[in-house]
Homo-oligomer: A and B are copies of this chain.
Amino acid sequence: MRTGSFDALRDAVAAANNEIADAGLVVQAFGNASQIDREAGVFAIKPSGIPCRQVSGDDVVVLALEDGGVVWGDHRPSSDAPTHRAIYNGLSEIGGVAHTHSLYATAWAQARQEIPCLGTTHADHFRGPVPVTRALTTEEIAGAYEAATGSVIVELFAGDGFDPEEAPGALVSSHGPFTWGPTAAAAVTVAAAVEMIAELAAHTLAIRPEQGPIEAPLHERHFSRKHGPMAYYGQP
């Protein structure tokens, strides 16, 4: 365990970080993606302070899931690495995590509001609203701040029979979106969807401030077209 150079894992993470930039989800070096190898007990993540577009597989850092120690790599890992680790530890069903500061998703996070489901674009991706975390306590901020950022995400799904396909992301209050999926690439795809959902919701409420969420049957129908045993979207 925790041996080797994890070439394929690092290349996948580099490509996902490049895609964050190509999809217009970051400005400067904000944003990062990671992917886990649960058998090896490691996850690979973007290095700190290097723009997403420039990350190569050789820059990626591999960390131990157990203690966060560096297993491979010369660079300092993203300062958000403890957040990713806390998410992987708390949500054992997921394989990749992405974090961006995309404009509208971050604006909703700064407004400390969950994104209500106002249409089928949203319903295609989330079974409920895009949730938002509680604010961190002063103690959490003063202590292991980045790990606590991951813990409040995990807290959102405690005791719920968490299904990552039904809730593939969340907004961290005053910060921005984190998304996940089976791989880093899948997490980045969700990050793009969350930005679109967030922008649509902002424009919708600007046009009609009193608009409420769509009815449950429509939400459920759209979600189950794409997810779960009854899905009939895409190629078999």
A221 contacts across to B, CB distance below 8 A: 141-142, 145
Question: Which residues of B are found within 8 Å of A28, using beta-carbon distances?
Answer: 189, 192-193, 196
Chain A 197-226 interface mask (CB, 8 Å, partner B; 1/0) = 001111111111001001101100100010
Report if A156 contacts B (CB, 8 A): no
| Chain A interface residue number, banded | 35 or more
Asked if residues A113 and B49 are in contact (CB atoms below 8 Å), the reply is no
In the complex, what distance in Å separates the CA atom of A189 from the CA atom of B202? Answer: 26
A103 touches B233 (CB 8 A): no
User: Which of B135, B192, B211 sits near A27, CB closer than 8 Å?
Assistant: B192
Bound CA–CA A104/B201 (angstroms): 10
- A50-B235, A110-B118, A110-B200 given; name 15 further pairs at CB < 8 Å: A28-B192, A30-B121, A76-B234, A76-B236, A101-B121, A106-B200, A107-B200, A107-B204, A107-B206, A110-B201, A110-B211, A142-B217, A174-B214, A202-B203, A202-B206
Give 5 nearest A-B pairs by CB, closest first: A49-B234, A107-B203, A111-B208, A110-B119, A110-B204
* Chain B residues near A207 (CB-CB < 8 A): 107-108, 111, 113, 202, 205
Digitize A115-150: 1 where CB-to-B-CB distance is under 8 Å, 0 elsewhere.
000111100100000000001101001100100000
* CA distance in complex: A118, B173 (Å): 10
Q: This chain: how many copies in the complex? A: 4
- Contact check, B233 vs A112: say whether CB atoms are below 8 A apart: no
Tell me if A76 and B235 are in contact (CB < 8 A). yes
Chain B: minimal CB distance from A225 (Å): 6
Let me know if A79 is at the binding interface, CB within 8 A. yes
- On chain B, the residues within 8 Å of A189 by CB distance are 28
Residues of B contacting A151 in the complex (Cβ-Cβ under 8 angstroms): none
Q: Can you name 28 A-B residue pairings with CB atoms under 8 Å?
A: A27-B193, A27-B196, A30-B121, A30-B124, A47-B235, A48-B233, A48-B234, A49-B233, A49-B234, A50-B235, A75-B235, A79-B225, A101-B121, A103-B196, A103-B200, A106-B200, A107-B200, A109-B119, A110-B118, A119-B175, A120-B175, A120-B176, A121-B176, A135-B215, A138-B215, A141-B221, A202-B207, A206-B206
Return chain B residues, CB-CB under 8 Å to A118: 110, 174
In the complex, per-residue mask of A78-118: 1 if CB is within 8 Å of any chain B CB, else 0: 01000000000000000000000101101111111100001
